[in-house]
Amino acid sequence: MTTTIPDTTTMTIDSTENLTVGPELARSWLLVNGSQPARFDVAANSAADAVVLDVEDSVAPADKAQARENVLEWLGTSTEDGEQNRAWVRINGFGTAWWEDDLRALRDVPGLDGVMLAMTESPEHVTRTAEMLRGTRIVALVETARGVQNLQAIATARSTYRLAFGIGDYRRDTGFGENPMALAYTRSQFTIASRAANLPGPIDGPAVGALGAKLAEATGVTTEFGMTGKLCLMPEQTATVNEGLSPSLSELSWATDFLGEFEAEGGQIRNGSDLPRLARARKVLGLASAFGMRLPEGYDMHFEAPTDTYHC
């Protein structure tokens, strides 16, 4: 649950430089239709941690070849500042008529950060893709009941970089509703499989059309289930998702206070709660640093330790 903060203070974001968040920590994954190249630069200039040019679900079969060419052209060019355009690409699923063509086209493309493999249902889908794109990061997008049944094996496949949950296709496959309780078991399985395989946290599916409070609520569900990324369908969603999947003001305040107190008392373990609190505090502050976050000047509020760090 999110802690209610009793004032209107907001987090300070360090904007002295363009901060790049690596894919292992990326919170917002912005999908962009490959048939609409005019949107590529807009996406690249948004708050998205990762841009994913899509040649799969959002592209009609008749338009896939052109969408692929649009993506290749953009990835092969540079910005006005001379920097290489960079993005991920969501490719068509293993066994489809376009999967192999996608992989052949993407070999050695300079701006390719990685691929998101649609409709992943087995570790073989990942390993076969990796054989075609050696050294390329692969996010396994799991979207069916069969894929969820094989999550552990997919997560432990050598070339799986991160797991992602394709909610729309999964709901169509299973008949589940959109209520978070209906998808609670599935979301939990993504997090458990990721943690057991020592992968970064999984990427949750998008909140279609949601903005403002509704999107913040959906992002809260993502956090509640231990997922650390979320697919976005509009640039306008990315800032809210980034905020929701970052350490909160209360977490950062507590971590700063705890570490200051711990070090002031000699940095020695005092009781059974210190070890989990130390690990949590270091994780919070590490994420805050990676995301360019810091407490506001003069901030002086104190919060209780997270409930899962109490010794019992």
User: What is the pTM assigned to this prediction?
Assistant: 0.91
Q: Is the pLDDT of residue 79 over 70?
A: yes
pLDDT of residue 311: 62
pLDDT of residue 309: 77
pLDDT of residue 273: 84
When pLDDT is averaged across residues 250-256 and rounded to a whole number, the result is 93
| Pair of tokens at residue 305 | 């330790």
pLDDT digits (tens, 9 = 90+) for 5-63: 334 345 555 543 467 899 999 999 999 999 999 999 999 999 999 999 999 999 999 99
Distance CA 183, CA 304 (A): 30
CB 46 within 8 A of CB 38: no
Burial pattern 223-242, b for ≥16 Cβ within 10 A else e, equals bebbbbbbbbbbbebbebbb
pLDDT digits (tens, 9 = 90+) for 92-149: 999 999 999 999 999 989 999 999 999 999 999 999 999 999 999 999 999 999 999 9
